[in-house]
Every structure is written in structure tokens, then in C-alpha cells.
Amino acid sequence: MKTAAEVGIAGYGAYIPRPRIATRAIARAWGRDEGGRLPVREKSVPSPDEDTVTMAIEAARGAVARAGCDPGRIRAVWVGTESKPYAVKPGGTIVAEAIGATPWVSAADLEFACKAGSEAMQAALAFVGSGMAPYALAIGMDAAQSKPGDHLEFTAAAGGAAFLFGPPEEALARVEASTSYVTDTPDFFRKQHMHYPEHGHRFTGEPSYFTHSRGASRGLLEALGRRATDYRWAVFHQPNPKFMRRIAAEMGFTEAQIAPGAVVDHIGNTYSGASLLGLAGILDVAAEGDRIFFCSYGSGAGSDAFSLVVTRRLAEVRDRAPLVGDYIKRRQPIEDYGEYLRIARKVRLL
Amino acid sequence: MELPRYHRMRGTLYRLEGSACRKCAHRIFPPRPVCPRCKAQELEPMAFSGRGTLYSFTRVLQPPRGFTNLGTYSVGMVRLDEGPMVSAQIADADGTELQIGMPVEMVTRKLKDAEEHGFILYGYKFRPRLRAAGA
């Protein structure tokens, strides 16, 4: 898919909260083998005073700072998440208000499991590409939910990123094309009033993550007549280090191409935030002329793929906001599983 | 805090909006209708940058009701770069050695989220400055 007019990413911002719990501590609490193979070493957890909205606000501020635009000209603030603080009451309005984009702005929260953030990117891209808006902000952010004791608890983390789409002359990366690939595949779900999502165990792999990531990636590469070697960098959705590397290798991308965006290795799976945070990590190191391949995945299921080209402006504005690496380095270890339960509010004080 | 008051204060809580006096250029936070320095009433809204230095701080070891989920936490007085002094919680201070004069920056956090059926109150806190963001 291509927009009628050219569109670029004018700014981006990331966020990862400071607390970290070692996955060994989770294994110990549930009587699992601490010395056994765990998907990641530690994962990020929101502080008790943080949620998806506060994290989205910080990422959005980073995006606006890098773009250097008047926030009053942002015509959309869309937050993709599966951890809305309110079941009914938009979080997008709080973010829009905090960055000074209100009142002449469209705002909403989008839900598509882990693909909600890139869905917001597609919408923002179209909003700007159609000429309806000079700027539109897309955010993917999660305080990822996982049932205590479930194997998702070892990776479900917190964080995400924001991308401000705008005119091509202000772009730090131009959007070449995008694609979406969606089918009805019930591999992961949470009903209202359920605290934690359920997943389809082995069903989440081949018919879900791999089929859709492959579909969207191939679709975009074929539409552009490109191969993996035409790109300098690539990022895929990263529920764990293994899935991301398997699909990247299958599509022909090397470890060097995905390494700067492999945020999951350091902090775990940030659900709607994961692929966007990976893209932010790549923009932190990319240089003028670099091509970036991006492919998200969300259960339910589907993938969005984007092809981007970095401009000279990226290096000029990069230091206006913290880098993904700054947030990864900034960490506060959580001592034990009990403290984790308090911080993550998995125990309610009566 | 009651819902109507929270709504009225959203500019102050979310964007650190105070007032600037058109007559004597005095800057005031939170916003006021009359300049405390020159008594002029020609004030206009002003969003502060959120950057400042830590003037003083202490640690709350016995949190009051509504704040128990924070465990212990820090509060402080911040001298904003533009002049005014603000009292607020100091976020991300666990395991950090706070020091008088250290650079801090405004962040938006949950101020209160204690009741199952209540609304969430978002507002400003300050944290040790991450890096020369925006510089």
C-alpha cells in the first residue's frame, strides 16, 4: 500500500520503566528449575505509579521533541495497547492533553493484541498521506499482562514507542510502502472481566506468528521487488528471542541486521510496544540512506509491514530525547517475587 | 480530589501550566489570577519546561492511606529553571542517592489510583534527569 502523498516519520520516542525482575526469581517462586533455560534473563515492570497512559505520555513527548513541531498541529493521537487503564474511557485523550495537542485532534485507543501499535501507525500514515492532517501520532505501549505462574510471566514486560508521522520534508525516515496481512486466528485472547489473557499454547507458533509475519513480509518485499539484502536493518515482533530470530532468518535477514532492534533480549516482550520499540532501537543507530524493514505481529491474528528509508535529519534530532539504550541501562532490580507482586499490583491491599 | 477539580486542573497537572505576569514578567506556579509581586491582573497561562533542580527532599517511610502500594517513597521541593518552587513526589528514586542541587525533570505519573471504582488521578512528579533530553 502506498499513500497518495509522500509521508515521513517526523519524530519518535521510546519508553521502558525502570524496575526489572530476574526471570530466575519467577522460576524460584513457582518451583521451576532456576538453572533451566529461561527465555530472557530479566524483564521490565512498570513502577507502582506507572501505567500504559503515563508510559505513552513519555514516549509521545520524545516523539514531539525530536520532531520539534507545534503539538497543536497534531491531528490524531492513537494509542495501541492491550492494557488500557480504563475499560471505558480513552487513554489517547490523556496523552493528547499532556502533549498539548487538544482540542483539534482525533484520539482513540486501538486494540489488536500485539499489533495495535502498528495498526495505529497504518492509520496515522494514511491520515497524513491523504492530506487530512499535517501530523498524526501513533503509539504502541503495554504494561503486558500475564497470569502468575504461566510461562508468559517470564517474558511479559512493559514499554513501547511513539511515532509521529508528518510531511516528507521534515522526515527523519521516509515511508516507502506498507502492507497488512490479517486472518481470524484465535491464538490469544482475554474477555472483559478476565484479569489475564489465555493463549493457544503451541498453536501460537506456526499458524499464527510465523504464518502472518511471513505473509506480510513476503507481500511487502514482493510488492517492492526487494530482498532482505536490500535492507540495512530489520525488526520483527519479538514475543521471545527465538521466534524473532527464526522468522528473520527465514526471510533472509542476518543477526547483524536485527541486533539493534532486539530489545526483547534485554527487557522481555512489551506486547503492543515490542516491534515499535525495536524500530526505535534501530533508529537510534541508523544512518542516512539506510533502508529499514519492519514487521509487527498481533494475535487474533495479523501483521503490518513497513519499508522505511532514513534521511539526514535523523542524526540531527536523535539526541533531543533519550535513546532506547538509555532506558535499558537505567534499571532498578526488584529483589524478589513478593516485591514484584506488590509493584505489579498483582496483590490487592484490602 | 473531586472529579471537577481534577478536570479544571488538567493543564497544571499534565503540562505544568502556571502563569506569567505581562506587567512585571514574574512567573508563578501553580497559576494565580493576581501577580503576587506587582498585583497586576494581566496574567497569561505559561507552560513550564519541567526542568529544575532539587532544592530539598525527604523520604516517607509510613505512607498514608491511598499511597501504600508505593511502599516507601520520596517527596521533594523543586526549583524550576524558570523560577518558581514546586512540591511534588520524586519518582524513580528507589536505589538512587538523591542530592540537593541535582538536576530533575517533570514526568507524568499516577498520583492516586486507590479505589476500585474511582478515577485515576494523573499528574506531575519529578525524577532525577535522565540525560540532556531536549538540550
Which CATH number belongs to the domain containing residue A192 in this structure?
Answer: 3.40.47.10
B95 located within any domain: yes
Residue A107 C-alpha cell reads as 484520539
Q: How large a percentage of chain A has pLDDT more than 70?
A: 99
* pLDDT range class, residue B95, cuts 50, 70, 90: confident
Q: Who's near A314: CB < 8 A, 6+ residues apart?
A: A172, A173, A283, A286, A287, A288
User: Do B120 and A322 count as a contact with CB atoms less than 8 A apart?
Assistant: no
ipTM of this predicted structure: 0.95
Q: How many other CB atoms sit within 10 Å of the CB of residue A2? A: 14
A349 located within any domain: no
B42 located within any domain: no
B7 located within any domain: yes
Domain count, chain A: 2
B24 located within any domain: no
Are A58 and A163 in a shared domain?
yes
Are A257 and A213 in a shared domain?
yes
Are A65 and A116 in a shared domain?
yes
Extended strands (E) in chain B: 17-21, 27-28, 43-47, 51-60, 73-80, 85-90, 103-112, 121-128
Domain span including residue B84: 3-14+49-128
User: Do A51 and B120 count as a contact with CB atoms less than 8 A apart?
Assistant: yes
Find the CATH number of the domain harbouring B102: 2.40.50
Give the pLDDT confidence of B19-35 residue by residue, as tens digits: 999 999 999 999 999 99
- Residue range A41-47: average pLDDT? 96
Are A310 and A332 in a shared domain?
no
Residue A294 C-alpha cell reads as 519492519
Are A36 and A121 in a shared domain?
yes
Residue B11 C-alpha cell reads as 493543564
Are A155 and A287 in a shared domain?
no
Tell whether A51 is within 8 A of chain B (Cβ). yes
Give the burial class of A335: count Cβ atoms within 10 A of its Cβ; 0-12 exposed, 13-18 middle, 19 or more buried.
Answer: exposed
A3 located within any domain: no
Q: Which of A58, A69, A114, A266 is catalytic?
A: A114
Helix (H) or strand (E) holding B10: helix B10-15
Are A16 and A163 in a shared domain?
yes
Pick the residue of B14, B67, B130 with the most A CBs within 10 A to test the interface with A by mutation: B14
- Measured between beta carbons, which residues in chain B are less than 8 angstroms from residue A53? 120, 122
A350 located within any domain: no
Domain span including residue A286: 173-315
B122 located within any domain: yes
**Average pLDDT of chain A, as a whole number:** 95
Domain count, chain B: 1
Q: Would the pLDDT of B71 be above 60? A: yes
Tell whether A345 is within 8 A of chain B (Cβ). yes
Are A90 and A220 in a shared domain?
no
Indicate yes or no: pTM above 0.95. Answer: yes
A290 located within any domain: yes
- Residue range A27-52: average pLDDT? 93
Q: Is A69 assigned a catalytic role?
A: no
Give the pLDDT confidence of A170-218 residue by residue, as tens digits: 999 999 999 999 999 988 999 988 888 988 777 788 999 999 999 999 9
CB-CB: which of B69, B113, B122 is closest to A349? B69
Tell whether B85 is within 8 A of chain A (Cβ). no
A348 located within any domain: no
B30 located within any domain: no
B73 located within any domain: yes
Distance from CA of B83 to the nearest CA of A (A): 22
B105 located within any domain: yes
The residue type found at A145 is Q
